[in-house]
Each structure stands twice: as C-alpha cells, then as structure tokens.
Amino acid sequence: MLTAGRRLVAVAATGMLLFAVLPARADDVRGGQRAVIETLSLTEAWRTSKGAGVTVAVLDSGVDPGHRDLAGSVRVGRDFTEGANPPGTPPSRLHGTYMASLIAGHGHGPGRKLGIIGVAPEADVLSVRVILEDEEPGFREFNSAERFEDVVARGIRYAVDEGADVINMSISKELATREERAAVRYAISKGVVLVAAAGNDGERRIDSDYAPYSYPAAFPGVVSVGATDLRLRRAAFSNWNSSVLVAAPGVDIMGAGPGDEYWVGRGTSQATALVSGVAALVKSRHPDLSPPLVARALAAGATDRPPGGYDIATGYGVVNAAKALTEASRLARHTETATGGQAQDPARPVSAGGQAGPVRVITRDEQRVTVFAAIAGAAALGALASLSVIFILVRRVRRAHNAQEA
C-alpha cells in the first residue's frame, strides 16, 4: 500500500504560496516572461532550434489541449489515474497545463506574440495523466490505493512507446519501486531524455547538510533540476543534495492554466519544465544524441556556475539554451568521430577522452547507483537526480478581457 511518505505529489506547500496579479493584457503576459527568456538565452537559441519534430511527454495531472497557447500542439494520451475520482468528475489539469505551456507554449494572436511562449514552441506535447491535484475528490484514494502505486512506471513506458523524445516529470515520491527503476532504464535504453525536479523541501531542512532525495529524480540517468530565485541563487525552497545536476529559474514564473487562464508560481516543477524545453531544443537539433550526452550538454552549457564549478545547491549552474545547443553540437561531432559515424548507444556515453563508461559509484541507503559523467573537462559528479517535485502554485489569475485574442 502507498503511505503518506510515498505520495506522488504535494501541491501548494504550506508557507510557500506567492500571490500576484497579472496584467490584463496578454502582451503583458509575454512581457512577464522576459527575465526567463533572457536568462536562458532563448532568443539566440531559437535561431538554431525551436523544438520542431520533438515530442515531450508531460507526466502530470493532464494538459488542456484547447488552451489558445497550446492548441494544435497537444495529444491527449492515457489516464493512469482512471477510477480514483468518482465517475463523471472532470480532471482539473492545472499543474499539467502549466508545465506544458512552459515547455511548448506557442502563444496566440497576430504573429503569436500574445500569451505564453514556451522554451520549445514548435515541439509537440503528449499528455500522460499520472497524478491527481490535491483538490480533486479522488486525491486521497489515489495516494493510498495499491493499484495506483506504479502509475509513474507505467506512464514512462507508455510515453516511450508512444514516441516521446523527452519526458518531463514534475512529480515525486520519497521511496522508489523496482518497476520505476526498470521503466527509467527502459526509457534511457530507447534514447529518451528524462527530466525531473529536485523538490521543494529546502525550507524545512535548513539545519541539515542536504535536503532529501526523492524519486523518480534520484534514479541514475534522470536529469535532476533545482530552482533559482530572481538573483539566480538557490531558491529557499529548492532541495540541495549531490544529485542536483543543473538549475533553472523557479520563482515568479508565468504559465498557462486550463480555460485560457494564466498563473504565476514558483517551485522546482517550473524549473524542471524549462529544462525539459531546453532538452527538446537539443533533441530537435541532434535527434541521435544519447540521454547522457544531452545531460552533459545541459551541464556544460550552464551559466552562473558556483565556485569550484559544482555545488549541491544549483549543480553545475543555470541552464542556458544557446550554450547547451553549442555544447550538443560539439558532442555530436565528437560522437561521430568516436563511433565512426555510427549512432551512439544511449547506454554508453562518450567521455571527454573518447572512452565510454560509468564515472562514479555512490552508495546511499545500501543502494549502489552508477552515474555518468555530466560535463566535459571536469571531474564528473554525475546525474543521479533527486526530486521531490512539488510545484508551488501561486494565485490563479483570470484574464480580464479578450480584446486582443486571435
């Protein structure tokens, strides 16, 4: 049976709500994204890639396919939570829509200059429902019934088989299952990049040396993402531990909600969605690049690096889309040389010296896990991912008028 310690997701953690009122005009929504666009160097990155041809699976609470900033880009897949809610209860799809918009929102209106623009605006989204939001009537049943224990594992396998190139997971559990571990292995063996959030327990762990690991992010090969504040330092709520690979902005992040609404929120969930968008840009440009090498490109291209190049707060630094694409191109050339032009085996990353293999083994809770080198030229720390992925939503803001809609 699932216990409280194994809950899939927690939403709006106590003391971490932020309230904001969005401007009424949709073009001001885009203006509110300016800091993220500049931090990730998206304008420069979009000259090279906008995510065309890539499918990002959003394992979450569901995505609203009719939102004007996502319309035409969303394919609604399986609902693995079916039966948890009473019959006839519609899913709220808030968290999932929000995350999808940060990944692949394309805006609306003339020239699509209004509304939310995602990191990879030409990517497609596969919505896979694996969690319920806490206000849904079946939330308690979902988190206590044994029959829902492996929905994440099933969702991962489903997304892979449906052609996903990247899987975004803004979800978390404190304990792992054998089925989830096997599903992660399966995804990586198929060349799929998995990205998950480092979690939002940081403020409750101020007297500790690290914040707890969680899953699916703590599995080998999953890119673990921390959140930064407006100064690009670790956000107070963001977990810190040796599994954090990279970070991204996670405070005052604008996104879309169901029914053409807009939200402002903070959390490692938002940061994770942004990194999944960057991974989509890389996979669009270099579709054969293996998951370990995509992770390395993300780490090697990071900016705002901590002293010494790595720390457990923000990993190798803040993801930068333009630099990640540059690193990916370099790694792709290196891989082609090392493999004689053959496709790279996703399970065998090529190191800076041209040799494949694991870099470091760490032992935690009597489990041995192998992590791959993440950044060329540096002593590898390895992408082990740890996450409690709780997104912290702030306040729902309804659009005041429709004068500028398409």
95 annotated active-site: yes
* DSSP strand pairing (261-267 vs 360-364): unpaired
Distance CA 255, CA 147 (A): 32
Structure token pair of residue 217: 């992010």
Distance CA 54, CA 228 (A): 27
269 annotated active-site: yes
Q: Which residue in 3, 74, 40 sits closest to 302, CA to CA?
A: 40
Distance CA 54, CA 125 (A): 9
Secondary structure of the chain in HEC code, one letter for each residue = CCCHHHCCCCCCCCCCCCCCCCCCCHHHHHHCCHHHHHHCCHHHHCCCCCCCCCEEEEEECCCCCCCCCCCCCEEEEEECCCCCCCCCCCCCCHHHHHHHHHHHCEEECHHHCEEEECCCCCCEEEEEECCCCCCCCCHHHHCCCHHHCCHHHHHHHHHHHCCCCEEEECCCECCCCHHHHHHHHHHHHCCCEEEEECCCCHHHHCCCCCCCCCECCCCCCCEEEEEECCCCCECCCCCCCCCCCEEEECCCEEEEECCCEEEEEEEHHHHHHHHHHHHHHHHHHCCCCCHHHHHHHHHHCCECCCCCCCECCCECCECCHHHHHHHHHHHHHHHHHHCCCCCCCCCCCECCCCCECCCEEEEECCEEEEECCCCCCCCCCCCCCCCCCCEEEEEEECCCCCCCCC
Q: Which residue in 385, 306, 279, 294 sits closest to 346, CA to CA?
A: 294
Q: Which of 64, 69, 92, 95 is catalytic?
A: 95
Residue 367 pairs with which residues in a beta bridge?
A: 364
How big is the CA angle at 44 (ends 38 and 48), to the nearest 5 degrees? 140
Structure token pair of residue 311: 């720390």
Q: Which of 92, 224, 242, 269 is catalytic?
A: 269
Q: Which of 60, 64, 69, 260 is catalytic?
A: 60
Catalytic residue annotation: 60, 95, 269
